[in-house]
Amino acid sequence: MDFDTAGSVEMSVTALVLALEGPLLFFIITRQGTSPLLAAGILLLPVVIVLPLIWMLWRPWSVRWEFRSPGEHAEIRTVQSLSGFNNCVRLAADDYGLHATLNRPFRWLGGEPFSIPWSEIDWMDQGSFGRFSQTRKASVSGKSLVVPSWVYEAAERY
């Protein structure tokens, strides 16, 4: 699997949403007597909400750490959560560090992939909530980052 490009399922779902759901919702909203301008605004609302979130939560990571392709033997998992983006992140761990990329629709809005070397990550003690949620808290250059537990286990191996 090519780590930083969209898979066929991801692209199919995006195409379905853009090609069918947008015009269908626009038609339904305008049939209810709403002005076309308001209907267009409602359809653009998700982009208006997500764009600032990407720039505030994701971009600081991708600006600070450039992306490096994961190694040949990297452990890659999809449908992961990181930095406030739940179930739309693809993570990889190898001997270099943690690699992260958002699903393609978020990448279109400026969420570029990044790679953090293990040497930059300071692991914090796991609290009771972390054991329950299978997450681990880390400090990266003074910023807090919550990662799935398997990433911590991979860091211990490398």
Inter-residue contact 92 to 70 (CB < 8 Å): yes
Q: What share of the chain is helix, strand, coil (3-state, %, to 5)?
A: 45, 25, 25
Q: What is the mean pLDDT of residues 79-103?
A: 92
pLDDT tens digits, 128-138: 776 778 899 99
Pairing of strands 114-117, 75-82: unpaired
Residue 5: pLDDT band with limits 50, 70, 90: low
Token pair for residue 95? 């001997």
Structural domains present in the chain: 1-158 (2.30.29.30)
On the question of pLDDT at 111 being above 80, the answer is yes
Residue 122 neighbours by CB under 8 Å, 6+ apart: 138, 139, 140
Overall pTM surpassing 0.85 (yes/no): no
pLDDT tens digits, 31-72: 888 888 887 787 788 888 889 999 999 999 999 999 999 999
